[in-house]
A and B are shown apart, each in its own frame.
Chain A
Amino acid sequence: MATSRDDFVIAFRSAFLKKKDKQKFSLLTLLFLSIFVLILSNYNIKIIKYIKFGINEFVYRTSFLISTPEKKIKNINSQIKDHMKIYENYKNIELELETLKQKELITKFLKMENEKLRKLINESINSKEILAKVLIDKESPFLKSIILNKGSKDKLKIGMAVVDGVYLVGKVIEVNFTNSRVLLLSDLNSKIPVILEPIGMQAVVSGTGGDYGKIEYTKKEYSDEIISNEIIVYTSGLGGLFKPGIPVGKISKKNTNQINFFSDFRQLEYAKIISHSIENNN
């Protein structure tokens, strides 16, 4: 009995401390080093920040270069699929265009009316847009995020909204000198204040880790109202982080708690970062 325990201790100690011929460090040393790095990376000291920026810049750029062939293959695959469905798509687009033309007229009128009303209460929303290229869009099963090629040198700040066309994609959570990380709406840690229109109910959209989000913090009556209405979800602008009225997604008819995002996060090539300010001229 004592011998088998001794064997275990010897094997375990040897695993930790003994170096193989070509290993420069023992496992124990590297293990302590990784714990040290883990602790150190959470301190917001200037020098650590700069080292982190440096590592991020290098890794993002290298990853972008290394994943170029994979991206090309993916693009070719999607191009072939698109070509196969070209006629079907054309017919659908023709129908959609007709409907959109009709809707545009109503939208123009509403936009003008909205501007007039804002003038009446002396309020105006100013927003700036920065176009960015998606450097890395790794579909990690655990964290959903993308890397953009714009950073603090382009005056990006943590918390800014990121859109794909007009649809919300996520928010900036990390800013380096020439690039930044965006947390996608689908990530489990993403929570966005929204308004459900046309019922006008405030809610929070949370990520699920999948392709859809879920609606939280709403009254029970909302489930009844959704059956009779087609609910579109917009940012509410509460908390001042996001510009109000950015379209987020549509509530699923099958599951009233589920929101299908307008943007397809897997197809992102470019994105716009929006900064806004609401001016009250009173």
Chain B
Amino acid sequence: MSSLNKNTFLNILFSYFPIGMLFVSVFNDFDFNYLNIDYFSFNFIHILIFFWTLKNPDHLGYVSIFIAGIINDVIVGLPIGISSFCYLLICIATAYIRNITLSPNFINDWLSFLFAILLINSIQVMILDLIFLIEIDYLEYLINTGFTFLFYPIFFIIFNYVNEKIIIKFND
């Protein structure tokens, strides 16, 4: 039986969407910080990694996440390796959620996301503050976590749409 979706360009575009977005966002720091709204910031990369490693880990490799973390550290100016460590902790959280979940549900995912980013940001703050003695604004981290949590549903809808397209095209 012939395929219903013969557009190979779209197939490639969709299948590389998670990795493409990951690298563009680490190189470009996609978080609307340039809007310069006081205390407004969110971590798009955390949302992206959490969603794709939870829903479709075959399209976002752990090695790519590790490399993206290194790039992020170089650009932001953090000690090299810290972002990779935190991103991989998200992957562990999602792998664990995947293993224990029988019927996926959005609210469970959203609350697990909050727990995961709170834990990861706390670990990052502790490493930066206590080991590397880099002064950081705790409030800024907390607000960033809050906005990242609030933005999750919006990106969930977008990513879910793309994920469905990928699944349809690959099962076709």
In the complex the two chains form, is B75's CB within 8 Å of A141's CB? Answer: no
In the complex the two chains form, is A67's CB within 8 Å of B28's CB? Answer: yes
Q: How far is the CB of B120 from chain A (nearest CB, A)?
A: 13
Give Cα distance in the complex from A7 to B96, angstroms.
Answer: 11
In the complex the two chains form, is B96's CB within 8 Å of A67's CB? Answer: no
Q: Judge whether A111 is part of the interface by a CB distance below 8 angstroms.
A: no
Q: Judge whether B159 is part of the interface by a CB distance below 8 angstroms.
A: no
Q: Judge whether A118 is part of the interface by a CB distance below 8 angstroms.
A: no
Neighbour of A30 across the interface among B24, B33, B62, B98, CB < 8 A: B62
Residues of A within 8 A of B38 (CB): 210
Q: Judge whether B78 is part of the interface by a CB distance below 8 angstroms.
A: yes
On whether A20 and B58 interact (CB within 8 A), knowing A67-B27, A67-B28, A189-B135, the answer reads yes
Interface of A: prevailing SS: helix
Q: Judge whether B95 is part of the interface by a CB distance below 8 angstroms.
A: yes
Q: Judge whether B21 is part of the interface by a CB distance below 8 angstroms.
A: no
In the complex the two chains form, is A33's CB within 8 Å of B66's CB? Answer: yes
Q: Judge whether B162 is part of the interface by a CB distance below 8 angstroms.
A: no
In the complex the two chains form, is B75's CB within 8 Å of A142's CB? Answer: no
In the complex the two chains form, is A37's CB within 8 Å of B81's CB? Answer: yes
Give Cα distance in the complex from A67 to B25, angstroms.
Answer: 10
Q: Return the CB mask of A156-190 against B: 1 if under 8 Å, else 0.
A: 00000000000000000010000001000000110
Give Cα distance in the complex from A22 to B18, angstroms.
Answer: 14
Q: Return the CB mask of B21-46 against A: 1 if under 8 Å, else 0.
A: 00010011101011010100100000
Q: Judge whether A203 is part of the interface by a CB distance below 8 angstroms.
A: no
On whether A63 and B34 interact (CB within 8 A), knowing A14-B95, A27-B88, A37-B80, the answer reads no
Q: How far is the CB of B136 from chain A (nearest CB, A)?
A: 6
Give Cα distance in the complex from A165 to B136, angstroms.
Answer: 29
Q: Return the CB mask of A3-34 against B: 1 if under 8 Å, else 0.
A: 00001101110111010111111010011011
Closest to A15 in B: B95
Residues of A within 8 A of B33 (CB): 138-141
Residues of A within 8 A of B80 (CB): 37-38, 41, 52, 55
Closest to A42 in B: B79
Closest to B33 in A: A139
Residues of B within 8 A of A42 (CB): 79
In the complex the two chains form, is B61's CB within 8 Å of A16's CB? Answer: no
On whether A181 and B57 interact (CB within 8 A), knowing A34-B88, A141-B41, A210-B38, the answer reads no
Residues of B within 8 A of A279 (CB): none
Q: Judge whether A74 is part of the interface by a CB distance below 8 angstroms.
A: yes
Give Cα distance in the complex from A266 to B33, angstroms.
Answer: 11
Stretch at the interface among B107-115, B137-145, B149-157: B137-145
Q: Judge whether A59 is part of the interface by a CB distance below 8 angstroms.
A: yes
Q: Judge whether A209 is part of the interface by a CB distance below 8 angstroms.
A: yes
Q: Judge whether B163 is part of the interface by a CB distance below 8 angstroms.
A: no
Given A35-B85, A38-B85, A140-B77: 10 more A-B contacts, CB < 8 Å = A15-B96, A22-B58, A23-B57, A55-B74, A60-B74, A62-B27, A67-B28, A143-B77, A188-B135, A266-B34
